[in-house]
């Protein structure tokens, strides 16, 4: 039901994959920029990068599930 609702709202597997790769890029960017901060705020930037990095597996999993759902619609 959730996949059907997401599909009906216009979300496709490609969108979820793009969001997953985007979160990886955002995580890396956050980490890279934290290298230029003062030492007392580096830890928070590093934690933010780790937090955003946790999104990627979720988006990829949703992408896989939507791809399988899209395949069942084609049959």
Q: Please say if the pLDDT value at position 37 is more than 90.
A: no
pTM above 0.85, yes or no: no
For the chain, the structural domain boundaries read 14-74
Residue 45's CB is within 10 A of a number of other CB atoms, namely: 17
Q: Please say if the pLDDT value at position 32 is more than 90.
A: no
What local confidence, expressed as pLDDT, does residue 15 receive? Answer: 98
Residue in the structure block whose two tokens are 């930037």? 45
What local confidence, expressed as pLDDT, does residue 43 receive? Answer: 76
Structural contact between residues 34 and 42, judged by C-beta atoms closer than 8 angstroms:
yes
What local confidence, expressed as pLDDT, does residue 63 receive? Answer: 97
What local confidence, expressed as pLDDT, does residue 6 receive? Answer: 95
Query: In what helix (H) or strand (E) does residue 12 lie, and over which residues does it extend?
Result: none
Distance CA 55, CA 26 (A): 10
């Amino acid at each position: 039901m959730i996949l059907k609702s997401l599909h009906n709202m216009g979300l496709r597997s490609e969108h979820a994959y793009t969001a997953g790769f985007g979160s990886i890029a955002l995580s890396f960017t956050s980490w890279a920029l934290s290298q230029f901060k003062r030492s007392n705020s580096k830890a928070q930037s590093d934690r933010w990068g780790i937090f955003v990095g946790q999104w990627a597996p979720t988006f990829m999993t949703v992408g896989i599930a939507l791809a399988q759902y899209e395949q069942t619609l084609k049959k």
